[in-house]
């Protein structure tokens, strides 16, 4: 798994470098630097309400006595690890759940709530991608991008269905088989607790629907960030088109979850979708690079805070 992530990262880096070289380094850097520190700071501030929405979504899967700020913080750690560290998105999920256990949450609850929260987020992402596809269908009749866009949404839909099915039917045996190889002696009865937590959470339809709803609002917030970034870079991209670009971007890259930080894949998706809505390639790559700069400015302090928490836990 680690070798696959490293190979994917190298291929993604090569793709990103190739795109920047093809469209011109000077043009791409000029478009990216045009936003300025004030604009970048504004985008960082916009990430705060998005984190609150994401934490609220995860909160639906946790016991009632858990503080609202715990899932907010742990979600921040999850995203920071996924975007700033050389991990796949799976590594970010593990660190987010680990952060929850450091603040007193039992590991079966942390793991089960993470799994179900990710499923809710994925289903909300699918709805958001369908919204983007609808806007895309109304904007163009070209099959060049429509075919991979539709294929991406279909694959995402099948993956979402598979995730729900596995949680309801196959998680217990899968977890036991994995634990038998790596950690069964240390986990003890924890696997039974994990299976029970997953069963209870998967059966709580109101909580699942609330989680999907909060995640959808967070995805809409990411569309606002794309719209604002485009305007700060001098492109008057209509808000509805920005939603389409963001929604379809995530639909197109849904299968690239093993690529750390979606390196290269994200840039290629922005260029392809930007061409449909009249966004120049250098600006499209600039939007992606500004997004990465924002992720670093927000994520690095979060990871430093997480490291402090880890150090204190090791000293106990």
pLDDT reading at 237 higher than 80: yes
- Mean pLDDT of the chain, nearest integer: 77
**Residues whose CB falls within 8 Å of the CB of residue 198, separated by 6 or more in sequence, listed in order:** 112, 115, 116, 167, 171, 172
Share of the chain above pLDDT 70, in %: 67
**Residues whose CB falls within 8 Å of the CB of residue 279, separated by 6 or more in sequence, listed in order:** 230, 235, 237, 245, 273, 287
Is the CA virtual torsion 3, 161, 120, 114 positive or negative? negative
pLDDT reading at 183 higher than 50: no
pLDDT reading at 212 higher than 90: yes
Give the range with max mean pLDDT: 23-27, 264-268, 273-277.
Answer: 273-277
What is the reported pLDDT for 16?
A: 43
What is the reported pLDDT for 168?
A: 55
- pLDDT tens profile 23-55: 444 544 555 667 888 888 899 999 999 999 999
Cβ atoms of 273 and 133 within 8 Å: the answer is no
What is the reported pLDDT for 279?
A: 84
- Mean per-residue pLDDT, 168-172: 54
How many CA atoms lie less than 13 Å away from 6 in the CB half-sphere? 3
From CA 229, how far away is CA 235, in angstroms rounded?
A: 9
What is the reported pLDDT for 209?
A: 95
pLDDT reading at 259 higher than 70: no
Give the range with max mean pLDDT: 114-118, 139-143, 154-158, 182-186.
Answer: 114-118
- Mean per-residue pLDDT, 221-238: 91
Indicate left, alpha or beta for 65 from its phi (over 0: left) and psi (-120 to 50: alpha): alpha
What is the reported pLDDT for 227?
A: 94
From CA 292, how far away is CA 270, in angstroms rounded?
A: 13
Sequential DSSP letters for 265-292 = HHHHHHHHHHHHTT--HHHHHHHHHHHH
What is the reported pLDDT for 93?
A: 87
What is the reported pLDDT for 14?
A: 46
- Mean per-residue pLDDT, 288-296: 85
Cβ atoms of 152 and 267 within 8 Å: the answer is no
Query: Full-prediction pTM beyond 0.85?
Result: no
What is the reported pLDDT for 49?
A: 97
- Mean per-residue pLDDT, 151-164: 60
Indicate the pLDDT class of residue 170, thresholds 50, 70 and 90.
low
Share of the chain above pLDDT 90, in %: 25
- pLDDT tens profile 115-137: 899 989 988 988 898 888 888 77
Nearest to 171 by CA among 201, 187, 195, 197: 195
pLDDT reading at 290 higher than 80: yes
pLDDT reading at 19 higher than 70: no
Domain borders along the chain are 2-315
Question: Comparing 307 with 29, which gets the higher pLDDT?
Answer: 307
- Mean per-residue pLDDT, 4-14: 44
């Amino acid at each position: 798994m680690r070798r696959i992530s490293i190979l994917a990262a190298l291929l993604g880096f090569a793709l990103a470098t190739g795109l920047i070289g093809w469209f011109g380094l000077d043009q791409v850097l000029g478009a990216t630097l045009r936003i300025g520190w004030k604009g970048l700071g504004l985008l960082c501030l916009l990430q705060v309400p998005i984190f609150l929405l994401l934490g609220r979504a995860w909160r639906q899967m946790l016991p009632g006595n858990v503080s609202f700020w715990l899932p907010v913080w742990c979600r921040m750690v999850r995203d920071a690890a996924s975007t700033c560290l050389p991990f796949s998105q799976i590594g970010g999920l593990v660190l987010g759940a680990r952060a929850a256990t450091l603040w007193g949450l039992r590991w079966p609850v942390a793991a089960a709530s993470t799994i179900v929260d990710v499923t809710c987020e994925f289903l909300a992402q699918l709805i958001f991608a369908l919204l983007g596809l609808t806007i895309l269908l109304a904007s163009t009749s070209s099959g060049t991008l429509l075919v991979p866009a539709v294929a991406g949404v279909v694959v995402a839909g099948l993956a979402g269905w598979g995730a729900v099915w596995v949680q309801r039917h196959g998680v217990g045996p899968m977890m036991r088989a994995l634990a038998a190889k790596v950690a069964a002696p240390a986990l003890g009865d924890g696997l039974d607790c994990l299976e029970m937590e997953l069963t209870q959470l998967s059966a709580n339809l109101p909580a699942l629907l609330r989680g999907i709803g909060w995640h959808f609002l967070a995805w809409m917030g990411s569309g606002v960030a794309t719209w604002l970034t485009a305007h700060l870079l001098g492109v008057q991209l209509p808000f509805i088109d920005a939603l389409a670009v963001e929604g379809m971007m995530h639909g197109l890259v849904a299968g690239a979850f093993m690529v750390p930080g979606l390196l290269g894949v994200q840039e290629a998706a922005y260029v392809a979708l930007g061409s449909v809505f009249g966004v120049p390639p250098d600006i499209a790559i600039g939007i992606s690079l500004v997004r990465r700069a924002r992720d670093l400015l927000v994520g690095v302090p979060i990871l430093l805070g997480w490291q402090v928490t880890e150090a204190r836990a090791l000293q106990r």
